Every structure is written in structure tokens, then in C-alpha cells.
């Protein structure tokens, strides 16, 4: 009764989002070039109402964390945080200009340092990957673009683990040398963790070249001629290495490759979540593992 009405509303909102053709955003800069190409052309992707629900939950978590930050700092005199959202222009040169929407500014008074605050809701997988030093590259690129544009001393990401309410603070700082060992400090008894990394701007030429190419794209055929930047056959559990911290990867049995079943390979993140994957993989089949849809692609 009510749920049906809710999902119709979500589908309407999801459709509107899928037709958004804005691609020059810091949060999108590291996305697949095919995804950005389809988005630029206003191609309608698969309507995913549940994805909209997850985005909305993330927005709600961001507001809660912001409120708690401001309440926690009321009695503190050493750190000041301004959580007014602000648009940022990022000029990479050669006519490539991106924009960003930061969650807030941080001022560490005793050190005289300024930084940017970014709040992210995280799944168990994303959180665990970050704890092992594999922070999503999309976030690394986004943080570095903000730091480049605003010339701040650091960028502070706060990840909130949705399933368990753990916190993870990841700080990108100009004061850490590029050859330094990443500092890792765990406070499991207090349910939070902190990581620190040096700034990294080595990706700038790659991002500029990608947007130069995107600016010239005018047809779906041109997008489909671009290479898919992800190896469909690579094992996602060990990132193709065949090994994990405990030894041989238990998923691929050390091969570094996904298991092929009857000529099909399971499509994984990020392609499995992409609204345009049916265009890149037209020879796909969708099955259900309980309530979870599984996309299988035939090897060519």
C-alpha cells in the first residue's frame, strides 16, 4: 500500500537524477570515462530507486555528524569548524575547470593551520578497505583537488560506518612527506580510527586529459569506443594479486582472476552499480541471490 507509493516517488527522483548531465565536479573527477561520457550526453540510465534511498541516508548521516561536531566543539577552544556548505572552483589549466561542494572548514588555532572537512557514510566494505590503507581513489582525488584549489594545509575526511556506527578519520596533509610511512593509530575501545596520508597531485595530468577528451564527445558511439578502465576478470577481493594479508586469496584461490561459470563472469563494483552497465555489457544476464541482484557477463 504505502511502500508502493514510496517507490514510485523514488523512481521519479531517480529518473531525474539519471538525466543530470553535469560532469565537471570534483566528486566525479575519478569516475569511469564511459560513465561520464554517457552522463554528459544525458543518456537515461537504469532507474535504481534503492540507490536513491542509499544517497538520501548518506545525506541524513552527514547532517547528524555535522550537528554532533558542532556540539562537541562548543567547549573546545583549540579547533574551530565552520560547516556552511560552500562551492569551490578548481582551475586545472588548459580550459579545464571543475567545481566542488565542501562540507566545512577547519581551523586548528594552536598550529595556525586551515583544512577542509568532508563527511562520508561508508558501507562495511568501504570502511574495511580504508582501514587496510585502500581508501577509495575517488575520495583521494576529490580531497587533492580541494587542497589544490584552496591551498589548505590538510583535508579531513570523516567516514561513518552505517552498520556499526564506527568512525574513521582520514587526514591528507601537506606536512607528511611523500616517502613517509603512513601513520596508523587505532582506538577500537572508543570505536574510532585515524589514518594520515601525504597530499598527492600526480593524478592532475590524467584528469585533465580525461576531461579534454570528454569535452569533444558528441555521440554514444564515441563513448562506446572508449576503453573500459576496469578489468572485468580481475578478482576484487585481492585486487588481482592472488594474495591477502592472511595468505592466498580465498575467493580466487590465488589466481588473481574471477571464477568463470558456464562462460559467464560476475560483474562487480563499480560496474555492477553503474546505471549504464547494460550499454557496456549488452550480453549480460541478471540473476538473484536471495534479494541481491547478480549481474553475469559472458566472456567474449
**Number of domains into which the chain is organized:** 2
Q: What is the pLDDT of residue 182?
A: 57
DSSP-derived letter for residue 238 is T
The string of pLDDT tens digits covering residues 9-34 is 888 887 777 777 889 999 999 999 99
Quick one: 105 and 189 in the same domain?
yes
Q: Considering only 213-217, 259-263, 271-275, which range has the smallest mean pLDDT? A: 259-263
Q: Is 56 part of a structural domain of the chain? A: yes
Quickly state the pLDDT bin for 44 (edges 50, 70, 90). Answer: confident
Q: Is 275 part of a structural domain of the chain? A: yes
Quick one: 193 and 240 in the same domain?
no
**Global pTM value:** 0.83
Q: Is 75 part of a structural domain of the chain? A: yes
Quick one: 94 and 184 in the same domain?
yes
Long-range contacts: 33-37, Cβ < 8 Å, 24+? Answer: 33/210, 33/213, 33/214, 33/226, 33/229, 34/223, 34/224, 34/226, 34/228, 34/229, 34/276, 34/280, 35/274, 35/276, 36/210, 36/214, 37/214, 37/217, 37/222, 37/223, 37/226
Quick one: 87 and 187 in the same domain?
yes
Q: What is the pLDDT of residue 275?
A: 86
Quick one: 141 and 255 in the same domain?
no
pLDDT averaged over every residue in the chain = 84
Q: Is 108 part of a structural domain of the chain? A: yes
Residue range(s) defining the domain that contains residue 187: 51-198
Quickly state the pLDDT bin for 108 (edges 50, 70, 90). Answer: very high
**pLDDT average, residue stretch 269-277:** 85
pLDDT of residue 207 exceeding 90, the answer is yes
Amino acid at each position: 500500500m504505502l511502500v508502493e507509493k514510496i517507490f514510485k516517488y523514488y523512481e521519479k527522483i531517480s529518473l531525474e537524477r539519471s538525466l543530470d548531465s553535469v560532469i565537471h565536479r570534483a566528486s566525479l573527477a575519478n569516475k569511469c570515462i564511459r560513465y561520464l561520457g554517457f552522463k554528459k550526453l544525458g543518456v537515461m540510465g537504469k532507474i535504481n530507486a534503492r540507490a536513491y534511498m542509499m544517497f538520501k541516508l548518506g545525506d541524513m548521516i552527514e547532517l547528524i555528524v555535522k550537528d554532533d561536531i558542532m556540539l562537541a566543539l562548543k567547549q573546545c577552544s583549540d579547533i574551530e569548524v565552520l560547516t556552511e556548505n560552500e562551492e569551490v572552483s578548481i582551475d586545472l589549466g588548459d580550459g579545464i575547470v571543475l567545481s566542488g561542494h565542501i562540507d566545512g572548514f577547519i581551523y586548528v588555532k594552536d598550529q595556525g593551520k586551515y583544512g577542509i572537512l568532508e563527511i562520508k557514510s561508508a558501507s562495511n566494505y568501504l570502511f574495511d578497505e580504508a582501514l587496510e590503507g585502500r581508501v577509495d581513489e575517488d575520495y583521494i582525488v576529490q580531497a587533492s583537488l580541494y587542497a589544490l584549489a584552496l591551498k589548505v594545509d590538510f583535508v579531513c575526511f570523516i567516514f561513518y560506518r552505517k552498520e556499526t556506527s564506527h568512525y574513521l578519520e582520514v587526514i591528507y596533509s601537506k606536512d607528511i612527506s611523500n616517502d613517509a610511512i603512513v601513520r596508523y593509530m587505532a582506538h577500537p575501545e572508543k570505536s574510532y580510527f585515524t589514518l594520515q596520508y601525504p597530499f598527492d597531485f600526480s593524478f592532475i595530468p590524467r584528469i585533465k586529459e580525461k576531461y579534454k577528451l570528454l569535452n569533444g564527445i558528441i555521440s554514444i558511439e564515441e563513448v562506446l569506443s572508449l576503453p573500459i578502465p576496469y578489468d572485468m576478470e580481475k578478482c576484487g577481493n585481492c585486487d588481482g594479486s592472488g594474495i591477502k594479508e592472511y595468505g592466498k586469496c580465498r575467493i580466487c584461490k590465488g589466481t588473481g582472476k574471477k571464477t568463470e561459470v558456464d562462460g559467464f563472469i560476475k560483474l562487480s563494483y563499480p560496474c555492477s552499480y553503474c546505471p549504464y552497465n547494460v550499454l557496456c555489457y549488452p550480453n549480460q544476464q541478471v540473476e538473484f541471490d536471495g534479494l541481491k541482484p547478480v549481474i553475469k557477463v559472458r566472456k567474449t
